[in-house]
Amino acid sequence: MMIDEFIELCYLEAKKVERVLELGVCSGDSTKALLRGLRDGKQGHLWSIDWGNIYTAKAVREIRQMGLIKYFTWVKKDFFKIPDEWFKFHPMDLIFVDYDDEDYFEIVRKCVLSMRKGSKLLMHNIIAYPKSREAIIQIMKNREYHYEEILKNHGLGILIKDGLE
């Protein structure tokens, strides 16, 4: 799996929506692809939650230089310290999780609070971190979602909310 296929998928998915949430910026490759998609599509907005490091700061500078900052809000916080209400009051069309952490159940639990009918949650690295797949399966038990895996060599799972608002 080439990284370009993954970046292209981020771009194409963002191009179709208005509101995107991303967990984890790091070097900003997927962030910039999401932002270009929002710019070229529905002129939407990306909220990226990342506590920040030197790589994140560099990515934000590059986003500013590329003229994409008006589509971007950096939520510079620890994801786990953001209250549930933030997610409930920020409905998203697309959520991209590129977060290497052990508490995947909590990550997925909070993210689905932002999902509405038709929303997609893209979970990166599900093969490298099988607990992320387990968290999605657990969340799906009593809810109206469906799940599929694409770009399997890259480990990308997609959870889609089918149910009522």
For 10-20, the pLDDT digits (tens) are 999 999 999 99
Helix axes 104-112, 130-140, angle to 10 degrees: 40
Sign of CA dihedral 34, 38, 158, 77: positive
pLDDT of residue 153: 66
CATH architecture under which domain 3-161 falls = 3-Layer(aba) Sandwich (3.40)
Mean pLDDT, range 26-46, rounded to an integer: 95
Domain boundaries, the chain: 3-161
Mean pLDDT, range 70-83, rounded to an integer: 95
User: pLDDT tens for residues 87-140?
Assistant: 999 999 999 998 776 788 899 999 999 999 999 999 887 877 778 888 888 877
Q: Rounded to an integer, what distance in angstroms lies between the CA atom of residue 142 and that of residue 77?
A: 30
* 68-75-113 Cα angle (round to 5): 110
**What's the predicted TM-score (pTM) here?**
0.90
